[in-house]
Structure 1
Amino acid sequence: MNDKPTIAVIGAGLGGAAAGALLQQAGYPTKVYEQAPSFSRLGAGIHLGPNVMKVMRRIGIEDKLDAMGSHPDYWFSRNGMTGEYQSRIPLGEYALEHYGASYITVHRGDLHELMVDTLDQDQLFFDKRVTDVDDNGDKVRLTFADGTVEEADLVIGADGVNSQIREKLLGTEAPIYSGWVAHRAIISAEKLKAYNLDFEACVKWWSEDRHMMVYFVTGDEKEYYYVTGVPEPDWNHGTSFVDSSQEEMFEAFKGYHPTVQALIECTESVTKWPLLERNPLPLWHDNRLVLLGDACHPMKPHMAQGAAMAIEDAAMLVRCLEEVGADDYHAAFELYRSNRFERASRVQKVSHDNTWLREEEDPAWVFGYDVFETPLKTPNTANEESPT
């Protein structure tokens, strides 16, 4: 008989899928609820550093990701106008030797599909949007938009920047629009062959107030992806993204290097997304509810570590439940927060400042981290001040 508590994970994004997979592996009766009607291969790229690949190893999909993804030898930073190199951060074999796992770039949808497939499909429920959460002290009662009601002993809010579980803990408060937008596009690499230019596997083009990050999202290098950071004073569209255009991209990157101009010329479809943040939250958990990922620390994507923090959160949360024993979930949740707050807040700050790897620096504090091996800080010794 399984005497472990029943757990509901709200949100089947990357953090929620990681939490669900690791909990089910550890023997917790875990159901995962996702508000989207079905899985879809969303058109975006993602970096998976060695810190994340160690979690993928535990979940059991590291080898598949290694085979699927692109393995850049370097993260290059280049001056957007002149093309001059500002930094060359070694990855490839260096990452394997020094950080203990690969550094890959991959299509986010392909990663997500692999992660979702590791879940018990009988315990994964789509089209489930939470409308009410009642934590009565003994159980948590979840009401969904379709009228169904479910109960669980513990609930993990992995439901993103507009989290219903966060609202239950802290009230309704809109995330902060950062004043920046991200344009996203996937380009067929075949089109780039017409140009006598060097399209590197992982490169960020910088100028004073904007950038374009570019990388392959498949191991066969057939799909090339870019994501930008561009200042835009207001976001009044009322939607999570809107269509952009080649014309808008040419205007945003006027004067940039010919390689960037070629990428824009080859762009068939591009979308524009607001970059949202929150200040470090005073509360990550209360009674039977706990948050992870964008539900408690959304950040700009300028370190390529937002999803990584959600995945690390999931792994640390399960580690703390196992360490303390889920019967004492109050202590487990506080141990989890104490071992994630400082790191997540530091990554939030560096992401906000948009300085990561712009110049030569040592990224070992990010890439060398192992969520399963790092010594646990007890709550009374953890430094919980937000980095300044």
Structure 2
Amino acid sequence: MDGSVAIVGAGIGGLSLALSLHARGVPVTVHEQATELREVGAAVALSANGLRPLAELGLLDELDAVATEPSELIHRGWRTHDRITGFAVGVDGSYRARFGAPYLGIHRAEFQRVLAGACPDGMIRLGSRVESVVDLGDRVELRLAGDEIAHAAVAVGADGVHSRLRQSVAPGSGPVYTGTSGFRGLVPVADVPSLPDPTAIQFWMGPDAHLLHYAIDPDAGRINFLAVLEGPDEWSGGAGPQAVPDGTLAAAFGGWAPAVREMVTAVPQSDRWPLYTLPPLNRWSDGRVVLIGDAAHTMLPHHGQGANQSLEDAAVLADLLVAPEARTGGHAAAFARYERLRRARTRKVQRSSLVTSDLLHLPDGDEAAARDARLAGLDPWLAWIHGVDARESTRALPVG
């Protein structure tokens, strides 16, 4: 493909795409409406499928140095500290050996710092709000706040769940509230003395709620948690988080295991976040505009794959934009193949995340017991997500 690429959004997907394109000699500008880079949320879990493309960009050692590799993946019930399942991750090196990259828990600010720090000066434009994108046939015109105009060969919407650019591709589409919501927190390990296996990534499952947590930082000194509750039935008052009465979270987990109660009360209660999914789009591109990450396939966080699927998208799209078919067939050929390669994969992960939400919130009884028994098959289940090489069919493409 000839010409420059404009990326809207300096989140994980946008920055990783920018770096992948820059490494291939494509001129890139990232437009970020915020005046400083700051990630929403406390931390992110990076699995091997997302980290492999970053390793190929030479970033793995730097990420490894500021993150924690979980010792195990553990599921527990809600009443006690008893294990239901346990699978080795970093404790014996088996995960890294099997999948060719580690599993890391990292603070989002550190992750974004590493990505942004690898971008050359001038690539990221802060305070650059894209109001609309117009396809002029031979290029796109980005209309920015303040009446500024910018041009590029193509525009990439990496602007998240409430994407503006999505309306250029699929007018009227948007995320759907799932009827579940979450609270986030960062807790010093020392403030959760009852917690078994503090370096593990752990799911605590119970009626109408679950808690996921994992350690971050090089010394594994803090724990990031996401506590998910059923409800409210409807979300009103805006798309973002809302303040709720103090004690809401603590009350929801009042009868749970001691470590869970300690964790959710160790720090001030966060705002309550709505959890969204995005009904599958009929297309991910239109003309010279294409979507990646949450803008294309918002999914629930229960497989920890939102960021990782964005990283996969970015790596595949970068390969295709520099392949000979993009030079001969133009951007349309690259976009069409990108969507063919990514649609089934992301839909499968998205559907599984939706199903998992219900399974994590079962009350005690036969259904929960059957779920617990099925969790014994989790290891091969992990392989279909973490073991996939998204670039398998695009890495070897010649550069046009």
TM-score by length of 2: 0.88
Per-residue CA deviation, residues 147-193 of structure 1 (Å, 9 max, x unaligned), is 2110001111111112121101111334211111111011122323x
State the 4+ residue runs in structure 1 displaced beyond 6 angstroms. Answer: none
Deviations 1:55-77 (A, max 9, x none): 11122210011111111121101
User: How many equivalent pairs are there?
Assistant: 372
Contact 2:298–2:306 under 8 Å retained in 1: yes
Residue 228 of structure 1 deviates from its aligned partner by: 1.7
**Which runs of 5 or more residues in structure 1 are unaligned?**
377-388
Aligned residue number for residue 86 of structure 1: 84
Distance in 2 of aligned mates of 1:349 and 1:121: 39
- After TM superposition, give the deviation of residue 312 of structure 1 in Å: 0.5
Structure 2: runs of 5 or more not aligned: 361-370, 396-400
Residue in structure 2 matched with residue 292 of structure 1 by the alignment: 292
Q: Find the aligned partners of 2:41 and 2:9 in 1 and give their Cα distance.
A: 19
8 Å contact from structure 1 (residues 5, 29) kept in 2: yes
Secondary structure, counterpart of 1:24 in structure 2: helix
Q: How does 1:16-95 map to 2 (within 5 A)?
A: 16-40=14-38, 42-92=40-90, 93-95=93-95
1:13 and 2:5 correspond: no
Query: 1:329-357 CA deviation, whole Å, 9 max, x = no partner?
Result: 11111111111001100010011112599
| Greater Cα offset, 242-251 or 288-297 | 242-251
> Is the counterpart of residue 224 in structure 1 residue 192 in structure 2?
no
8 A Cα contact 1:246 1:267, kept in partner: no
CA drift at 1:38: 0.9
Partners of 2:226 and 2:339 in 1: CA distance: 31
8 Å Cα contact 1:199-1:259 kept in structure 2: no
Q: Distance in 2 between matches of 1:58 and 1:35?
A: 29
Rounded Cα–Cα distance in structure 1 between residues aligned with 2:314 and 2:29: 15
Alpha-carbon spacing, 1:216–1:139, altered in 2? closer, same or farther (3 Å): same
Q: Distance in 1 between the 2:146 and 2:392 partners?
A: 42
Q: What residue in structure 2 maps to residue 380 of structure 1?
A: none
Partner of 1:271: 271
Partner of 2:209: 210
Contact preservation (8 Å) 2:182, 2:273: yes
- Matched letter for residue 134 of structure 1: V
Listed one character per residue, the Cα deviations across residues 116-135 of structure 1 (whole Å, up to 9, x for unaligned) are 11112212101122112110
Tell me if the contact between 1:10 and 1:33 (Cα under 8 Å) persists in the aligned partners.
yes
The whole-number CA distance in structure 2 between the counterparts of 1:114 and 1:208 is 39
Q: Which residue of 1 aligns with 2:343?
A: 341
Q: How is 1:357-376 mapped onto 2 (pairs within 5 angstroms)?
A: 359-360=375-376, 361=378, 362=380, 363-374=382-393
Q: CA deviation at 1:237?
A: 2.8
How far apart, in 2, do the equivalents of 1:276 and 1:100 lie? 31
**1:205 alignment partner AA:** W
Cα pair distance change 1:198/1:229, threshold 3 Å: same
Match of 2:302 in 1: 302
Instruction: Quote the Cα distance in structure 1 between the aligned partners of 2:190 and 2:259.
Output: 15
Measure the CA separation in 2 of the matches of 1:215 and 1:246.
Answer: 24
How far is 1:269 from its partner? Answer: 4.3
Secondary structure, counterpart of 1:342 in structure 2: helix
Deviations 1:268-296 (A, max 9, x none): 34232111111111011122111101111
> How far does residue 109 in structure 1 lie from its aligned partner after superposition?
1.4
Once residues 341 and 79 of structure 1 are traced to their aligned partners in structure 2, the CA distance between those partners, rounded to angstroms, is: 34
Cα distance per residue 1:271-325 (max 9 Å; x no partner): 3211111111101112211110111100111110011111100001011223344
Taking structure 1 as the reference length, the TM-score comes to: 0.91
Hey, what's the Cα distance between the residues in 2 that align with 1:252 and 1:103?
30
Question: Counterpart amino acid of 2:389?
Answer: D
The alpha-carbon distance between structure 1 residues 94 and 245, as it changes in their structure 2 partners (threshold 3 A), is farther
Alpha-carbon separation, structure 1, partners of 2:82 and 2:269 = 29
1:330 aligns with 2:349: no
CA drift at 1:84: 2.8
Structure 1 position 52, deviation (Å): 1.2
Q: Is the 8 A contact 1:324 1:332 kept in 2?
A: no
Name 2:167's counterpart in structure 1. 167
One-letter code aligned to 2:6: A
Q: Note if contact 2:249-2:269 (Cα within 8 Å) is conserved in structure 1.
A: no
Give the deviation of 1:224 after TM superposition: 1.1
SS in 2 for 1:28: coil
Counterpart of 1:369, as a letter, is V
Contact 1:178–1:275 (Cα < 8 Å) also in 2: yes
CA gap of 1:152–1:196, structure 2 versus 1, over 3 A, is closer
Shift of 1:196: 4.4
Tell me which amino acid in the other structure corresponds to 2:341.
N
Q: Does structure 1 residue 141 correspond to structure 2 residue 141?
A: yes
Corresponding residue of 2:243? 243
- Corresponding residue for residue 384 of structure 1: none
CA RMSD in angstroms, aligned pairs only: 1.9
Shift of 1:35: 1.1
